[in-house]
């Protein structure tokens, strides 16, 4: 492949050499450079890859892509661009022969609901016989192949590689989570989404190395709607106008609001022994009833989002109803059958905002008792511990404080910080450092009609202690507890 073929979608300046240079591989990690590689110098928050230019030349790189002036790179072609991250995205798309054109691409952005919605969409489309790939926070799914995720939205090269692999495998559609960081850092540049989705927006990811303020966070989210053919957005969001600022796509809406193209009507909470869910009627552009095995208003939004997308794939209503009735998203309000007398669920809620939303939703079901088990990760902001402790103490009938990824801190010290927050709301609590013992305590002491939520771990299947990840899956812990008890 000639270098100019990779550069065809971007503006660039030839500093030295020729774009006729033959290229073997496209690389942005200096450790992967081989003879004939073109190396893209990414200026990151921690590391500036421009400093590795002498190393990659020594390894046989044929060309380097830079964004800085005055770079010394003897004997290789040097191309200067305005933004190397954007260049990497466009070059990656070209390198893999624009695989997104061979797929129907669905990108979902928002503060909450992205993960669950992607699984709902995949479940419905697969039920309709449409082979669908998935890229998100938990994993990448390509047919029967599962790849653990490193980031919510992969770097542009990996993303295009996934698209290529999906297209080659005969997959027809791909649904993916699009983070604000992914948009800001051009991880999804270089192609146009067929569908862009906006779920909701709340203050999050604001701080050093993320977004300087809420306005910047919202602006980055809005970029998706300058890069898709059709935008499908939450009509109920107070930030809808801000998200649509500068949009270039067609627009459809969903929500409870009467103006929405697709509406949720007549919502009802369902709580039976060992089961908690919600039902509603879909109005507007469609007309049918839905019952979900996950609770709350936000589950209605997630499913309505999925329906709004699947409508454009001409999926039959009966298939949508069937698929939504059996969706399981690992670690997202995941129901774990233990006993008919109480309900146990696993959820990823690992900050105060997420925990408050979750517990408020579960409180609406009027459980006999709402029991919340959680811990906080070590070597992270201490404020999270106090905040989560206070939220649980205020909203749950019993808080069970335990350990969660202590990393390089003492678990008991982290728990003491959580308890300090718990005491601010004066709620009942117990402290049990060993997570398995804490879960066993919840099961042994469960009462008729209780709802027990195990928060924080979600899809994680490990416990990180002193730099080492030890296997620990809450589902397996529960199974082992049940196997050795008389429940």
Residues 46-82 pLDDT 10s: 789 999 999 999 999 999 999 999 998 999 999 999 9
Which two structure tokens, joined as six digits, stand for 483? 């196997």
User: How far does CA 160 lie from the centroid of its chain?
Assistant: 18
pLDDT at 209: 59
Eight-state DSSP code of residue 407:
B
3-state secondary structure 7-49: CCCCCCEEEECCCCCECCCEECCHHHCCCCCEEECCECCCCEH
Which two structure tokens, joined as six digits, stand for 227? 């890069």
pLDDT at 172: 98
Q: How far is CA 480 from CA 39, 166, 431, in A?
A: 50, 37, 21
Instruction: Pinpoint the residues of the chain covered by CATH 3.40.1390.10.
Output: 3-95
Report the candidate in 169, 196, 398, 402 with the shortest Cα–Cα distance to residue 312: 196
**CATH number of 99-324, picked from 2.60.40.10, 3.40.50.720, 3.40.1190.10, 2.40.170.20:** 3.40.1190.10
- Measured CA to CA, the distance from residue 56 to residue 67 in angstroms comes to 16
Residue length of the chain = 487
Confidence band of 214 (pLDDT split at 50, 70, 90): confident
Average pLDDT over all residues of the chain:
95
CB-based contact 358:334 (threshold 8 Å): no
Report the SS3 class of residue 57: helix
Cα end-to-end span (Å), the chain: 64
Span 334-483: which CATH code? Answer: 3.90.190.20
349: left (phi over 0), alpha (psi -120 to 50) or beta: beta
Instruction: Pinpoint the residues of the chain covered by CATH 3.90.190.20.
Output: 334-483
- Measured CA to CA, the distance from residue 406 to residue 388 in angstroms comes to 16
What contacts 169, CB < 8 A, 6 or more positions away? 131, 142, 143
Residues 162-187 pLDDT 10s: 999 999 999 999 999 999 989 999 99
Report the SS3 class of residue 295: coil
- Measured CA to CA, the distance from residue 232 to residue 249 in angstroms comes to 10
Stretch 195-203: mean pLDDT, rounded? 91
Instruction: Pinpoint the residues of the chain covered by CATH 3.40.1190.10.
Output: 99-324
User: How far does CA 382 lie from the centroid of its chain?
Assistant: 24
Residues 74-115 pLDDT 10s: 999 999 999 999 999 999 999 999 999 999 999 999 988 899
Helix and strand element counts for the chain (H, E): 15, 24
Helix axis angle, 84-95 to 156-168, nearest 10°: 20
**Which burial class, exposed, middle or buried, applies to 366 when counting CB atoms under 10 A from its CB (0-12, 13-18, 19+)?**
exposed
Q: How far is CA 427 from CA 143, 376, 390, 437, in A?
A: 47, 18, 9, 21
Which superfamily does 3-95 belong to? Answer: MurE/MurF, N-terminal domain (3.40.1390.10)
Helix axis angle, 474-483 to 435-444, nearest 10°: 50
DSSP assignment string, 183-227: HHTTTT-SS-EEEEEE----S-SBSTTSBSSHHHHHHHHHGGGGS
pLDDT at 202: 82
pTM above 0.75, yes or no: yes
CB-based contact 331:458 (threshold 8 Å): yes
């Amino acid at each position: 492949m000639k270098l100019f073929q990779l550069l065809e979608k971007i503006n660039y300046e030839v500093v030295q050499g020729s774009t006729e240079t033959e290229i073997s591989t496209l690389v942005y990690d200096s450790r992967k450079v081989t003879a004939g590689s073109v190396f893209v110098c990414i200026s990151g928050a921690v590391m500036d890859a421009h400093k590795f230019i002498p190393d990659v030349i020594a390894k046989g790189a044929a060309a380097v892509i830079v964004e800085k002036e005055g770079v010394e790179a003897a004997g290789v072609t040097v191309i200067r661009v305005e933004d190397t991250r954007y260049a990497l995205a466009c070059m990656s798309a070209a390198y893999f022969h624009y695989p997104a054109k061979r797929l129907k691409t669905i990108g979902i952005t928002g503060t909450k609901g992205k993960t669950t919605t992607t699984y709902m969409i995949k479940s419905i489309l697969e039920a309709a016989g449409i082979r669908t790939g998935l890229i998100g926070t938990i994993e990448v799914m390509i047919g029967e192949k599962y790849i653990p995720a490193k980031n919510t939205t992969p770097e542009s090269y990996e993303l295009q590689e996934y698209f290529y692999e999906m297209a080659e495998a005969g997959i027809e559609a791909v649904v993916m989570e699009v983070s604000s960081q992914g948009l800001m850092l051009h991880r999804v540049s270089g192609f146009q989404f067929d569908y862009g989705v906006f779920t909701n927006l709340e203050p999050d990811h604001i701080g050093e190395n993320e977004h300087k303020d809420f306005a910047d966070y919202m602006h980055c989210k809005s970029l998706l709607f300058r890069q898709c053919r059709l935008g499908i957005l939450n009509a109920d969001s107070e930030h809808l106008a801000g998200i649509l600022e500068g949009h270039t796509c067609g627009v459809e809406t969903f929500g409870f609001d009467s103006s929405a193209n697709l509406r949720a009507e007549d919502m009802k909470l369902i709580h039976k022994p060992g089961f908690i869910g919600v039902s509603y009627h879909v109005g507007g552009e469609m007309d049918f009833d839905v019952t979900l095995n996950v609770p709350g208003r936000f589950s209605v939004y997630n499913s309505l989002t999925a329906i709004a997308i699947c409508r454009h794939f001409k999926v039959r209503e009966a298939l949508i109803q069937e698929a939504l009735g059996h969706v399981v998203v690992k670690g997202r309000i995941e129901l774990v059958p233990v006993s008919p007398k109480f309900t146990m669920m696993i959820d990823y809620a690992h900050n105060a905002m997420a925990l408050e939303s979750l517990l408020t939703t579960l409180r609406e079901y009027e459980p006999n008792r709402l029991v919340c088990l959680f811990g906080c990760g070590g070597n992270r902001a201490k404020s999270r511990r106090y905040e989560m402790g206070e939220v649980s103490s205020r909203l749950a009938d019993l808080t069970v404080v335990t350990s969660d990824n202590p990393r390089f801190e003492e678990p008991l010290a982290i728990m003491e910080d959580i308890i300090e927050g718990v005491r601010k709301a004066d709620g009942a609590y117990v402290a049990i450092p060993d997570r398995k013992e804490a879960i066993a305590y919840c099961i042994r002491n469960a009462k008729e009609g209780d709802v027990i939520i195990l928060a924080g771990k979600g899809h994680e299947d490990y416990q990180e202690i002193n730099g080492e990840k030890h296997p620990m899956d809450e589902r397996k812990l529960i199974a082992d507890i049940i196997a050795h008890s008389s429940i």
